[in-house]
Amino acid sequence: MTSLLASCSVLHEFSMTSQIVKNVLDEAKKHNAKKVAEVHLVIGKLTFLGLEQVRFSYKVLTEGSIMENSKLLIETKDGAVKCSSCGYEGNLSTKDDPLYHMPVPTLQCPNCAGTVNIIGGRECLIKSVKLVVK
Partner 1 sequence: MVRLKEVVEAEEGEVYDIELEADLLEANRRLAEKNRELLQRYDVKAIDIMGAIGSGKTSLIEKMVQALTGKYRIAAFKGDLTTTIDAERIERHGAKTVTITTGKECHLDANLVGKALQRLDLKEIDLLLIENVGNLICPAEFPLGADQRAVVVSVTEGPYMVIKHPFIFIDADVVAINKMDLADAMGVDMKKLASDVKRTNPKAKVALTNCRSGEGVKEVIDALQL
Residue numbers of the site for partner 1 (CB under 8 A)? Answer: 1, 4-5, 8-9, 11-12, 15-16, 19-20, 23-24, 27, 31, 33, 37, 46-48, 95, 97, 99-100, 102, 104-108, 115, 118, 122-134
Q: Is the Cβ–Cβ distance between 128 and 40 less than 8 Å?
A: yes
Dihedral, 84, 76, 16, 130 alpha carbons, nearest 10: 130
**What's the half-sphere exposure (Cβ side, CA atoms, 13 Å) at 21?**
24
Smallest gap from Cβ 3 to partner 1, in A, equals 12
What, of Zn ion, partner 1, none, does residue 112 touch, CB below 5 to 8 Å by kind? Zn ion
Smallest gap from Cβ 71 to partner 1, in A, equals 12
What, of partner 1, Zn ion, none, does residue 54 touch, CB below 5 to 8 Å by kind? none
Residue 86 contacts Zn ion per CB under 5 A? yes
Find the part of the chain contacting Zn ion (CB under 5 A) among 3-11, 29-37, 87-95, 122-130: 87-95
Residue number, 63 or 128, with CB nearest to partner 1: 128
Collect all residues with Cβ–Cβ distance below 8 Å to 98 and sequence separation of at least 6: none
Residue 119 contacts Zn ion per CB under 5 A? no
Burial label for 103, CB within 10 Å (0-12, 13-18, 19+), is exposed
Interface residues with Zn ion (CB under 5 A)?
A: 83, 85-86, 88, 109, 111-112, 114
